[in-house]
Amino acid sequence: MSSTCGLTVLLVAQAAPARGGIPSFVTNLMADEGFGSEVTFELLNTTRVAQRRAGRWTVGNSLNSVVDALVLARRARRADVVHIQTALLPLGPLVRAAALCRAARSAGAGVVLHVHSGRLNSGRPEAFRIGWAERFFLRRTGSTCDRVITVSRVGADVLRPLMGSVEVGHLHNAVDVGSFTPQPGPRVEEEACRVVYVGTLSRRKGLPELVEALDAVAARGALVELDVVGGAHEVGEAEAQEVLAHCRNARFPLRRRGSLDAAGVRRVLREADLFALPSHWEGQPIAILEAMATGLPVVVTTVGANPDIVRDGVDGRLVEPRDVGALTEALAEFVENPGLRGRVGGSARERVLAVADRPRLRGELVRVYRAVERRRSGVEPRPTTVSGQV
């Protein structure tokens, strides 16, 4: 299939009108003109509805998975590599991923499985359960892949012993840093510090703890505001409304921005002074990288790839999940010191430029695609082990 025009890569993923980490990743990938003639992307969009409950095992989801696998088996015949984006856990998405990998393999394409799951990539045992059924399907899935990619080092460490001999490595998400414009300078002392949260309105994203911590900061006399960007996708309205109840009780100015498109998120980030996402478990949220690219200091938790990207006290602050006291102190440090926000925000932008700019991701993916295509063609044997970044 490959030629002088490069490789044809079929992306299999939730995409627009869905919102979230995987749709954002795929949108950025397909819009990246830097791949040039090396890679031609095609998309199999598995989205049926914009708002969905992630990971639920229902009759409808099962039927959709069968249809997706059948469509993939046909379309993969025209591709060199099939790049499947997945949450992988819990069991429902895992069975679906196994079916998709099998369909792509049966069509003769190389298969790359890209695991974005906050559950696995968090490295937090409380976030996921690996029982006998999960172990069975993980090994079956590994037997039909050429490469497995996670978004965090700890995620790769978790998966490597569970997926047989398939090569497992990690690759950080990325953003086009040059397309983000930082604020011209920090706000003055008399202005309120505008904090921004970007994420699904779910309990595990830590929004209730963020509101509680900012209440404590405001009680000290500090001027603070919060913009909340996000909707009920992946969790449903019931959980979103439960989370929003904490927002209604806030004792400081709080604005609900709703679920915004990429341009809207950029606008809110540029208007902000500080980014906060105190998730209980997480993989590697693109929103954190976008905030850093905008020149914002970030206050995030020690989960997933966060400690690999954010240097505590240099690019922002890292706190333990659910530790409201530590979160309060970290937020207060920036809320009360505009000069510190400016210095740390500048460092954050330099950091994401060095480790998570889009050209870095592009180069790594091209190497992965070419290696997988060579193995599919029999030019290169499949390795049995791998460690570190892909």
CA–CA separation, 133 and 139 (whole Å): 10
On whether both 90 and 59 belong to a single domain, the answer is yes
pLDDT in tens, 200-258: 999 999 999 999 999 999 999 999 999 999 998 778 899 999 999 989 989 999 999 99
| 30 and 168 share one domain | yes
Tell whether 388 is covered by a domain.
Answer: no
Residue 270 burial class via C-beta count within 10 angstroms: exposed 0-12, middle 13-18, buried 19 and up? middle
- Both 189 and 338 in one domain: the answer is yes
Burial group, residue 93, by CB count within 10 angstroms (0-12, 13-18, 19+)? buried
């341009």: which residue's tokens?
Answer: 263
Residue type, 86: T
Query: Any idea what the CATH number is for the domain that residue 131 is in?
Result: 3.40.50.2000
Is residue 390 in a domain? Answer: no
Tell me which residue range forms the domain holding 169: 7-174+358-376
Classify residue 316 by its DSSP letter.
Answer: E
Residue 223 shares a structural domain with residue 287: yes
Residue 134 lies in a domain: yes
Angle, helices 324-335/207-219, rounded to nearest 10 degrees: 60
| pLDDT given at position 216 | 98
Cα dihedral: 306, 311, 314, 319 (round 10): 60
Is the same domain home to 116 and 202?
A: no
* Residues of the chain predicted below pLDDT 50: 384-387
154 and 237 share one domain:
no
| Conformation bin of residue 108: beta by default, left when phi > 0, alpha when psi is -120 to 50 | left
Mind listing the pLDDT tens digit for each residue in 143-178? 999 999 999 999 999 999 999 999 999 999 999 999
Number of domains in the chain: 2
- Supply the pLDDT for residue 384: 41
Query: Does pTM surpass 0.85?
Result: yes
